[in-house]
């Protein structure tokens, strides 16, 4: 109840600015509360305080309000509120942190509308029922629409603790309501930040110093056809009458840069060597993120041990809409800036206000920020670098300006997912029970780099520390890597690092002990039945209990340089494909990771090998590897099982994926499915190809020419099972799918090839072209 009162108090304070709460309140809508407005056509507009970057939260939160407001979904609209009421969109917090607030807001408005109707009719509010945006007097049968009542309702004091609908009677929450933002996204009408057009505006393209930390030594002359060059210290902006002229001017501009003294240390090989040194040396003074029992002794005494170090790369975000920001400054007669208006695809509108006030000296009340649709955010659009640049260019001009980064600037000046070395030690007793778990994570810290945590703080331990696995002795150590490469928040953040290390190491142990990965996880989750249930659901989704498709091998013939296998049915392999042969005697004929060198006919295939003679038993061959991974990130529990093939050298094809998630209550099951699928697709891309390397402070990533992501033809079928556990367990979804594919693919790869991949990506340097 105390919580509800706090919410109420916040809502009341927000109400005083109700007129400003909605970005564009016309004379028509009536703001009943700071979050709910009623429109003349009896639709309702639910305020949205976050960033819609594809994850569907503007719809999910509107569902929460609409449920209690007693309107039909067809009556619901949504609109961004002012930054003062906004929140940072990140950490998959959008729905789980705001669901109760919007639900309460909907209930408050409903009660205010009901009270207004009751007063009009002179009856007790209890005699009035509400449905489909209409209040009905149950005594007389009189009705009144929300639109009729809105002005009266706005004057009713909001109830502190309005009655909430029992979840068992939810009509809208928990259903796949159509997203509110999609119609405009299929017609070109949707306006992203880069689509903002303001009268009299000019366009600016950025050229950042190619070396991180470098500065402009001399401001270059304005290129022909351009309006201005603005020196921003670490970058220059080229201003022109259209985007293309600005982009071309910036790309071709010759700038003399001053390179920072430490640039040479920003080299991938140097950074990796530092990380290796820190892995050995770095425990003194390093924070311990988790310590249970005595993991060192338990590891020493273990019957079976695995120690492995996993290496992960810096990753660019690769959101489709490049960084951009549009700024219009108002000046008085003396030229002094008196107000600012900003249109920006941002995950942090309140921070944008701070960026603007910090640069202009304006007060927050003089700054208007419009959060546009985001063409992807992925953690990149929480940053303020491109906002600050746009404001500074606008300060140098006398016109509104839209600053745009080229794709090359975006990928080469990202704030990257940090690289990491993670060493995992696992120990099991003679009965194969895990007794020891140690993780040591060496990685640069986005939080420390920004001054948000002290030197003794830890970062990026999510996915390693706090796991519910029933292991009696655990220690997780964080070792901060001081590399100066700018690092940031990449969708799923620390989970993207540690899930790979932990789930790979568990699989390495399973291979050593012969344990089935599903059985191992089920045992480890003995005290977490929800976790065990999602593992079971993912396994069932893939058909884990049925082994991967294989073909019996009935005869073998080796001639000293090649071995030809006869199968009892068509094997379906192609030359260059990797297969795993097992069960034969002599065992020398068995081989994981065998590459098919010839396919004489559908029931024979040949591999290179020196074993001669024939087999005395039958065996089998498969071209399929299967892997499992589990994660507990963002308040949700998730598991993923998948299969891969290696149809050609340097080619991993994920052929099918089964995922399961317990996010408590799926507010919009269709969007949960979409987010899991999309996150898994991003996770596959990152595992196979994602990385940025550095040479003397210069990033390798340029464009899709050297940054590969999955395309439709490479995308496997992905099933998503939702394992509900109730509203009380409401968890995040936007990032949940991302960490799982990397370990699952590595685990599948190890089974098919006998080779463990401990360094991501699988295929560095991959690019795309048509």
> Nearest Cα to 690, choosing from 406, 466, 500, 528?
500
- CA 490, 493, 496, 501 torsion-angle sign: positive
Radius of gyration from C-alpha coordinates of the chain? 29
Stretch that binds another protein, among 210-218, 244-252, 358-366, 507-515 (CB under 8 A): 244-252
Stretch that binds another protein, among 7-15, 229-237, 314-322, 415-423 (CB under 8 A): 314-322
Stretch that binds another protein, among 24-32, 192-200, 464-472, 579-587 (CB under 8 A): 192-200
Stretch that binds another protein, among 179-187, 304-312, 467-475, 559-567 (CB under 8 A): 179-187
**CB closer to another protein, 380 vs 423:** 380
CA pair distance 554, 293, nearest whole angstrom? 52
CB-CB neighbours of 170 under 10 Å: 17
Angle at the Cα of 412 from the Cα atoms of 194 and 708, rounded to 5 degrees: 85
Our finding on whether 488 is near another protein (CB under 8 A) is: no
Strands 202-208 and 401-404: parallel
Stretch that binds another protein, among 64-72, 275-283, 373-381, 546-554 (CB under 8 A): 373-381
Binding mask 606-645 for another protein (x = CB under 8 A): ----------------------------------------
Among 210, 678, 724, 764, binds another protein (CB under 8 A): 678
Cis peptide before 761 (omega within 30 of 0): yes
Stretch that binds another protein, among 184-192, 430-438, 597-605, 741-749 (CB under 8 A): 184-192
Residue 717 φ then ψ, to 5°: -65, 135
Q: Residue length, the chain?
A: 770
Cis peptide before 586 (omega within 30 of 0): yes
With beta carbons less than 8 A apart as the criterion, state whether 33 and 105 touch: yes
Stretch that binds another protein, among 54-62, 160-168, 267-275, 289-297 (CB under 8 A): 54-62
CA pair distance 175, 243, nearest whole angstrom? 42
> Nearest Cα to 34, choosing from 74, 84, 71?
84
Our finding on whether 287 is near another protein (CB under 8 A) is: no
CB-CB neighbours of 362 under 10 Å: 18
Our finding on whether 189 is near another protein (CB under 8 A) is: yes
CA pair distance 425, 475, nearest whole angstrom? 10
Our finding on whether 653 is near another protein (CB under 8 A) is: no
Least distance between another protein and beta carbon 513 (Å): 35
β-sheet bridge partners, residue 456: none
CA pair distance 505, 509, nearest whole angstrom? 6
Among 236, 239, 247, 298, binds another protein (CB under 8 A): 247
β-sheet bridge partners, residue 644: 625, 654
Q: What is the DSSP letter of 689?
A: H
**CB closer to another protein, 130 vs 327:** 327
**CB closer to another protein, 55 vs 259:** 55
**CB closer to another protein, 191 vs 530:** 191
What is the size of the binding site for another protein (CB under 8 A)? 67
CB-CB neighbours of 274 under 10 Å: 18
Contacts for 351 with CB less than 8 Å, ≥ 6 apart: 88, 382, 384
Binding mask 717-756 for another protein (x = CB under 8 A): xx--------------------------------------
Least distance between another protein and beta carbon 114 (Å): 33
Among 681, 688, 736, 745, binds another protein (CB under 8 A): 681
Cis peptide before 391 (omega within 30 of 0): no
With beta carbons less than 8 A apart as the criterion, state whether 299 and 437 touch: no
CA pair distance 742, 294, nearest whole angstrom? 30
Stretch that binds another protein, among 87-95, 254-262, 316-324, 509-517 (CB under 8 A): 316-324
Our finding on whether 319 is near another protein (CB under 8 A) is: yes
> Nearest Cα to 645, choosing from 550, 531, 534, 529?
550
With beta carbons less than 8 A apart as the criterion, state whether 339 and 368 touch: yes
Our finding on whether 225 is near another protein (CB under 8 A) is: yes
SS3 768: coil
- Name the helix (H) or strand (E) containing 545: none
**CB closer to another protein, 574 vs 614:** 574
Our finding on whether 244 is near another protein (CB under 8 A) is: yes
CA pair distance 455, 452, nearest whole angstrom? 10
Which class for 77: exposed (0-12), middle (13-18), buried (19 or more C-beta within 10 A)?
A: middle
Stretch that binds another protein, among 193-201, 227-235, 521-529, 630-638 (CB under 8 A): 193-201
**CB closer to another protein, 728 vs 769:** 769
**CB closer to another protein, 125 vs 737:** 737
Binding mask 685-724 for another protein (x = CB under 8 A): ------------------xxx---xxxxx-x-xx------
Among 498, 636, 671, 753, binds another protein (CB under 8 A): 671
Among 679, 731, 739, 743, binds another protein (CB under 8 A): 679
Among 320, 364, 455, 585, binds another protein (CB under 8 A): 320
CB-CB neighbours of 234 under 10 Å: 18
Our finding on whether 378 is near another protein (CB under 8 A) is: yes
Among 43, 45, 55, 645, binds another protein (CB under 8 A): 55
Least distance between another protein and beta carbon 242 (Å): 4
Among 48, 87, 192, 351, binds another protein (CB under 8 A): 192
Binding site for another protein (CB under 8 A): 53-56, 176, 178-179, 181-192, 194-195, 197, 203, 225, 242-245, 247, 318-322, 373-378, 404, 406-407, 670-671, 674-675, 677-682, 703-705, 709-713, 715, 717-718, 768-770
């Amino acid at each position: 109840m105390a919580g509800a009162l706090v919410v109420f108090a916040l809502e009341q304070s927000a109400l005083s600015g109700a007129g400003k709460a909605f970005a564009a309140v016309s004379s028509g809508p009536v703001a009943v509360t700071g979050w709910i407005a009623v429109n003349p056509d009896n639709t309702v507009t639910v305020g949205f305080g976050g960033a819609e970057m594809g994850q569907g939260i503007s719809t999910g939160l509107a569902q929460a309000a609409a449920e209690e407001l007693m309107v039909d979904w067809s009556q619901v609209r949504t609109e961004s509120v002012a930054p003062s009421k906004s929140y940072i969109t990140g950490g998959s917090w959008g729905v789980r942190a705001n669901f109760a607030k919007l639900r309460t807001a909907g209930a408050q408005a409903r009660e205010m509308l009901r009270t207004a109707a009751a007063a009009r009719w002179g009856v007790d509010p209890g005699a009035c029922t509400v449905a489909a945006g209409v209040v009905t007097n149950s005594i007389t049968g009189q009705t009144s629409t929300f639109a009729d009542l809105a002005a009266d309702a706005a004057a009713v004091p909001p109830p502190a603790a309005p009655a909430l609908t029992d979840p068992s009677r939810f009509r809208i929450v928990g259903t796949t309501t159509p997203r509110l933002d999609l119609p405009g996204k299929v017609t070109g009408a949707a306006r992203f930040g880069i689509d903002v057009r303001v009268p009299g505006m000019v366009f600016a393209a950025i050229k950042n110093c190619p070396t991180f930390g470098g500065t402009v030594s001399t401001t270059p002359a304005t290129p022909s056809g351009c309006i201005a060059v603005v020196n921003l210290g670490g970058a220059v902006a080229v201003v022109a009458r259209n985007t293309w002229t600005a982009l071309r001017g910036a790309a071709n501009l010759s700038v003399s840069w001053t390179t920072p003294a430490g640039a040479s240390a920003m080299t991938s090989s140097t950074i990796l060597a530092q990380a290796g040194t820190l892995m050995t040396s770095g425990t003194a003074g390093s924070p311990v993120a988790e310590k249970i029992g005595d993991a060192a002794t338990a590891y020493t005494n273990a019957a079976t041990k695995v120690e492995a170090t996993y290496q992960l790369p810096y990753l660019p975000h690769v959101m489709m809409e490049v960084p951009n920001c549009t700024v219009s400054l108002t000046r008085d007669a003396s030229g002094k800036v008196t107000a600012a208006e900003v249109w920006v695809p941002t995950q942090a509108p309140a921070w944008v206000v701070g960026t603007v006030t910090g640069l202009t000296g304006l007060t927050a009340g003089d700054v208007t920020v419009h959060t546009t649709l985001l063409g992807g955010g992925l953690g990149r659009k929480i940053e303020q670098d491109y906002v600050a640049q746009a404001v500074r260019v606008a300060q140098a001009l006398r016109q509104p300006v839209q600053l745009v980064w080229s794709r090359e600037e975006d990928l080469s000046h990202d704030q990257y997912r940090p690289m990491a070395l993670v060493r995992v030690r696992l120990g099991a007793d003679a009965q194969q029970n895990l007794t020891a778990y140690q993780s040591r994570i060496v990685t640069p810290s986005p939080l420390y780099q920004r001054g948000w945590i002290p030197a003794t703080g830890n970062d990026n331990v999510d996915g390693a520390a706090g796991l519910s696995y029933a292991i009696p002795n655990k220690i997780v150590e964080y070792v901060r890597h001081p590399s100066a490469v700018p690092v940031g928040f990449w969708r799923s953040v620390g989970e993207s690092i540690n899930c790979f290390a932990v789930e790979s190491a568990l699989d390495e142990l399973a291979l050593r002990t012969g344990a089935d990965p599903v059985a191992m996880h089920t045992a480890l989750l003995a005290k977490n039945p929800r976790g065990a249930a999602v593992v079971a659901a993912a396994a069932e989704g893939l058909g884990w209990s049925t082994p991967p498709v294989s073909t019996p091998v009935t005869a073998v013939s080796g001639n000293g340089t090649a071995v030809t296998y006869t199968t009892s049915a068509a094997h379906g392999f192609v030359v260059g494909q990797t297969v795993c042969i097992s069960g034969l005697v002599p065992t020398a004929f068995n081989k994981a990771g065998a590459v098919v060198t010839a396919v004489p006919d559908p029931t024979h295939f040949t591999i290179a090998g020196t074993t001669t003679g024939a087999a005395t038993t039958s065996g089998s061959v498969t071209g399929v590897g299967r892997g499992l991974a589990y994660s507990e990130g963002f308040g949700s529990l998730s598991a993923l099982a998948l299969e891969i093939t290696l149809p050609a050298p340097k080619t991993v094809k994920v052929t099918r994926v089964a995922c399961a998630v317990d996010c408590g209550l799926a507010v919009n099951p269709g969007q949960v499915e979409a987010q899991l699928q999309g996150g898994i697709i991003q996770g596959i891309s990152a595992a196979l190809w994602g990385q940025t390397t550095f040479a003397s402070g210069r990033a390798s990533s340029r464009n899709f020419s050297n940054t590969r992501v999955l395309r439709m033809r490479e995308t496997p079928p992905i099933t998503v099972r939702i394992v509900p556990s109730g509203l009380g367990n409401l968890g995040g979804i936007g990032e949940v799918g991302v960490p799982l594919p990397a370990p699952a693919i590595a685990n599948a790869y190890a089974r098919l090839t006998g080779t463990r991949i401990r360094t991501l990506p699988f295929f560095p340097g991959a690019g795309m072209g048509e």
